[in-house]
Amino acid sequence: MNSRPADLDRALITRIEGREADALSELYDRHSGRLMGLCQRILGDTGEAEEVLQEVFLWVWRSSATFDGSRGSVLAWLLVGTRSRAIDRVRTRRPAVRAGLRSVETVPDTPSGEDVEADSVSREWEGLCRSAIAELPENQRRALELAYFDGLTHQEIAERTGTPLGTVKTRVRLGLMKLRDLIRPYVQRSPTDA
Amino acid sequence: MHSERFEELAALQALGIPLGADAEEFARHLAGCEVCEALLVDFRVSAAALATSAPPVRASPAVRERLLRSLGPSVATPHLDGARARFVRRSSWAPRVFAAAAVLLLLVLVTDDARIRREREDLRSQRADVSDRLSTAERSLARRDLQARVLESDDVRMLFLGGKDPQPQARAKVFWSAKARRGVLVAANLQPLQAGRQYELWVFSAGKPVPAGVFDVDPAGRVLVESPEMSAVDSAEKFAVTVEPRGGVPAPTGPIVLVGS
């Protein structure tokens, strides 16, 4: 297959709109690993993560027509849909059940040989993003992780970390700005894949 | 005016954190601030990058099986190879087995006690409830998605609408996407109207006004409203807002309070 990954994904979405179950199956095989990783990271529970993963692909089956290629890649669309569903679940839990934050270093690595996403463009993008995240100052990275993976507001992050509210706001803003500056060169090369 | 506070709100929005009471103010600011608009796009890419710090994990094969079983009707793939096609043909006895199983299941259900029937009714009720809530959530999501699509569309253009007598102080902007054939009106300083009256937005195409929806304003005279899809509008030449009977009229009859082209 010579098609670019983004083109292949968009072709699959078109086939899914045509009610081809095989296309959904192929999309699942291409991206379920990454989406499951995101669910697992947010929810900290394999059973719930798998339920959300299934919900996401059922949503893709029902709502593929709402995908707008001008606003980004299929993968970005899937990540947004997955994260919002997982965060909604976290928010409906009672506080005692909420999963605690796990930083990047404590999350178990991918099982060896997992070919959950094998294309080199995605690997290059992921490698660049991980390097960029690793370059963030620890306090900025932690604030961003609490917001993105735990869905916490500024106020909640301040309470969780015992940090003044104004400092939290600054850390989140500066963290995203630094991340933007670090990944911008790649985004400018291939904006549709980012 | 652009400020660090709006940058902080852009960061929150990109991270998908609800803005609460600041949401409306930020939406209005975003509509007129190119810096924040570009920043929000950049922040969204940065937020997506955060997802890569969660390593991929393989889900149980049962998830894939459940998913594919639950899809309902789908078209047959045109890419079946010979071996697979033969397998499908050999599986033609399967419906008979399922039919026999269904008969057995029916017998069991018929002879079962009332408890099972009550449980089935409960489940139906719960399913209907969940289905209703899902529909509501999907409608809400679709509406927000459309609104965002207009504001972030690459062909969106902004027009200023000025106030006319009897409301010369009224101000508004219209963000119009020709591709989506939709617009978003953000207005301020409009007077709240008497019961029985509503503002109506008009889009002029080929010199004729096309109704684009009715709306009320908040006590401060502000509103953010999205038009429906205007399939009859080939080219939006001018926008206007008039005061009309509640529910709207097919052609303008009341005074024009905002106009711009």
Neighbours of A184 (CB within 10 A): 15
Length of chain A in terms of residues written: 194
Whether chain A has a CB inside 8 Å of the CB on B21: the answer is no
Give the confidence band of A105 by pLDDT, cuts at 50, 70, 90: very low
Confirm if A5 and A26 have CB atoms less than 8 A apart.
no
| pLDDT score recorded for residue B96 | 62
Query: Which chain B residues have a beta carbon less than 8 Å from that of A67?
Result: none
Residue with the bigger pLDDT between A89 and B81: it is A89
- pLDDT band (50, 70, 90) for residue A115: very low
Q: What is the number of H-type helices and E-type strands within chain A?
A: 8, 0
Can you give the pLDDT at residue A94? Answer: 45
B155 touches chain A (CB under 8 A): no
Q: Which pTM was predicted?
A: 0.52
* Residue A92 in tokens: 């409906």
Given this model, what pLDDT does residue A117 score?
41
Within a 13 Å sphere around the CA of A72, how many CA atoms are in the beta-carbon half?
17
- Residues with Cβ < 8 Å from B247, sequence gap 6 or more? B198, B214
Interval A26-79: pLDDT, tens: 999 999 998 999 999 999 999 999 999 999 999 999 888 888 876 677 888 898
Could B50 and A133 be called an inter-chain contact, meaning their C-beta atoms sit closer than 8 Å?
yes
Mean pLDDT by 10 residues, chain B (261 residues): 83 83 84 82 83 88 90 57 45 59 62 64 74 72 65 78 90 87 89 91 92 90 86 88 93 92 79
Q: Which residues of A touch B42 (CB under 8 A)?
A: 176, 180, 184
Question: Taking phi first (over 0 means left), then psi (-120 to 50 degrees means alpha), and beta for anything else, what does residue A121 get?
Answer: alpha
Q: What is the pLDDT of residue B45?
A: 79
CB atoms within 10 A of CB B23: 13
Amino acid identity for residue B13 in this structure: Q
**Which residue do the tokens 């719930």 mark?**
A48
Q: In degrees, to the nearest 5, what angle opens at C-alpha A34 toward C-alphas B19 and A66?
A: 55
d(CA A94, CA B189): 43
C-alpha triplet A164, A166, A169: angle, nearest 5°: 115
Using CA atoms, how far apart are residues A117 and B51, in angstroms rounded to an integer?
Answer: 14
Q: What is the percent of chain A where pLDDT is above 70?
A: 75
Both tokens of residue B166? 């009897």
pLDDT, one tens digit per residue, over B249-259 is: 999 999 999 99
Instruction: Name the helix (H) or strand (E) containing B105.
Output: helix B94-111
Which residues face B240 on adjacent strands?
Answer: B202, B259
Using CA atoms, how far apart are residues B49 and A109, in angstroms rounded to an integer?
18
Contact B77 A22 (CB under 8 A): yes
> ∠ CA(B136), CA(B140), CA(B142), 5° rounding?
115
Mutate to test the interface with A, among B13, B37, B41, B46 (most CBs of A within 10 A): B46
